[in-house]
A = this chain, B = another copy of it.
């Protein structure tokens, strides 16, 4: 599968790129192409040390979009509008949103846009033929980066296009011990996104780290 990661040098994108480039062709995108190149080299050498072959390259975000059959938006919520307004070419792409609109006051809370969720906002900003799928929302960046440890979590996947959802579920199931669950249409994304501030609260109030979820 050809995967483009917009924000591939960011906190979550970096670990994602490393784990995905073992099995897929990955274009690591960044606003700063030089940074993406360095990140790609680091990924290659990290995997080489483990006897694995990385298939990745560092590019600008637009090239990551152009490259991917699946495009992952590994960007913070506050970057969604400026990033998407600077990019084009999403027609017919499967676009994965792991984005969570959250804020922190005395505790972490879900702070969605008027559309109801980051996923629905993203859908409103992309051409109609783009197929937005929510996935990977509840996995901490640190867990992505800890490459020698398994990711043993459940991943709720939401989307309105069945084929795109199936593609993303297969992608999820190919990463470590992640297990994809069809959580229904894109409208359900608000719940999935809101679990992240809950997990941050659980971590904070129970002195835990990088809490994730499993459906059992």
Contacts and interface: CB of A to CB of B under 8 A. Distances in A.
A198 B183 contact: yes
Contacts of A188: 107, 109, 197-198, 201
B156 A198 contact: yes
A144 B202 CA distance: 24
Interface stretch (A16-24, A30-38, A120-128, A206-214): A206-214
A55 B107 CA distance: 39
Interface string A163-204: 000000000000000000111110110111011011101101
Interface of A: 106-110, 152-153, 156, 181-185, 187-188, 190-192, 194-195, 197-199, 201-202, 204-206, 208, 211-216
29 contacts: A107-B184, A107-B187, A107-B188, A108-B184, A109-B187, A109-B188, A110-B190, A110-B191, A152-B216, A153-B216, A181-B202, A181-B205, A181-B206, A182-B202, A182-B206, A183-B198, A183-B205, A184-B201, A184-B204, A190-B194, A191-B197, A191-B198, A192-B198, A195-B195, A195-B198, A212-B215, A212-B216, A214-B214, A214-B216
